[in-house]
């Protein structure tokens, strides 16, 4: 199981607010062939790079969110939701020139168990950070590092994870001997020398310029090419319904999802995988066991609508129910 981890993780990246507007469909609109929803409720949760920070806390760790928000109601609401979840917000920088990234999902509820997802509206500014804001973020990160045990970069490609910020993280890693991990969302070549680099199947295939081969048919060589491209200690590739594959200095491995369950929503599963990998790395677990635990945790997330961060107790119970399976690593 995942041992307790007392070190703080600095989660750096594109923090967002995930907003859910939920209503009951009453009729079709006369203005267009769309349902008219009478709003019944609204709720918000931390999204983007804020989500792995929440996951780390729910799994028993400590996290500081390091990113940029706007001087707007969404930014204040995001900060409040992070604080309520137990995440330290000292690393948030306010940039009045850009909005807080917000993803608004519109759902219709009815007789079905989960809401019907009708639309998503993103309020986002993808410009790279202004030099002044980038400098302030780097300075804040440098101030927070002495109290941290690891740096996790969560890259959602919204302009916060610049090349300069990556280099600052590498320099801090070298100076303070911190593990450095990244959920890359592709572009693996930007993350040279990281301890762990994660991507999904589509991102790996884009990087390789070819489809991932079937298990046991050259896939290990493809992950070796990915690892060489970014000179990482380990690469981890999430494979959707096929599970997860990894390669580190000890070799190649993979495991399928445990006990396939009905998938209601894939939102946030990758963030949960990254949070588990980070805590497992800090605890000194072998990558095989870390990936197995990450798979189990992701299975919990897939069964819940929207961003969901499983608790440590949930992961312990769910992992125990799978421990007798052949896929459980030594």
* Residues classed as catalytic: 271
Nearest to 23 by CA among 101, 78, 105: 105
Q: Are 167 and 26 in contact (CB under 8 A)?
A: no
Nearest to 186 by CA among 153, 163, 157: 157
161's CB contacts (< 8 A; 6+ apart) are 12, 13, 14, 153, 155
Give the Cα separation of 4 and 278 in Å (integer). Answer: 12
Q: Whose structure tokens read 């992992």?
A: 319
Give the Cα separation of 6 and 148 in Å (integer). Answer: 10
Q: How many CB atoms lie within 10 A of CB 147?
A: 13
Q: How many CB atoms lie within 10 A of CB 43?
A: 11
Q: What is the token pair recorded at 77?
A: 């609401």
Distances (CA, A) of 20 to 34, 60, 75, 301: 18, 26, 16, 17
């Amino acid at each position: 199981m995942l041992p307790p981890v007392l070190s703080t993780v600095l989660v750096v990246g594109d923090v967002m607010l995930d907003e859910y507007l939920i209503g009951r469909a009453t009729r079709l609109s006369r203005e267009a062939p769309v349902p008219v929803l009478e709003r019944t409720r609204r709720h918000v949760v931390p999204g983007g790079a804020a989500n792995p920070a929440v996951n780390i806390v729910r799994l028993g760790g400590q996290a500081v969110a390091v990113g940029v928000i706007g001087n707007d109601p969404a930014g204040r609401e995001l900060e409040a939701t992070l604080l309520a979840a137990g995440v330290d917000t000292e690393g948030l920088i306010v940039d009045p020139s850009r909005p807080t990234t917000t993803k608004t999902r519109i759902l219709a509820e009815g007789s079905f168990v989960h809401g019907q997802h009708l639309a998503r509206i993103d309020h986002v500014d993808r410009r790279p950070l202004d030099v002044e804001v980038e400098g302030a973020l780097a300075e804040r990160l440098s101030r927070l590092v002495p109290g941290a045990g690891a740096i996790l970069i969560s890259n959602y490609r919204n302009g916060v994870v610049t090349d300069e910020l990556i280099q600052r993280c590498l320099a801090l890693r070298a100076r303070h001997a911190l593990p450095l991990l990244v959920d890359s969302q592709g572009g693996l070549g930007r993350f040279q020398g990281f301890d762990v680099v994660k991507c999904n199947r589509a991102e790996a295939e884009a990087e390789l310029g070819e489809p991932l081969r079937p298990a046991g048919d050259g896939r290990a060589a493809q992950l070796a090419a990915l690892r060489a491209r970014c000179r990482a200690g380990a690469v981890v590739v999430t494979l959707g319904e096929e599970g997860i594959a990894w390669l580190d200095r000890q070799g190649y491995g993979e495991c399928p999802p445990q006990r396939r369950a009905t998938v209601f929503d894939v939102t946030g599963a990758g963030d949960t995988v990254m949070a588990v990998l980070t805590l497992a790395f800090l605890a000194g677990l072998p990558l095989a066991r870390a990936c197995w635990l990450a798979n189990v945790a992701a299975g919990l997330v897939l069964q819940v609508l929207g961003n969901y961060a499983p608790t440590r107790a949930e992961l312990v119970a769910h992992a125990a129910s799978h421990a007798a399976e052949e896929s459980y690593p030594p």
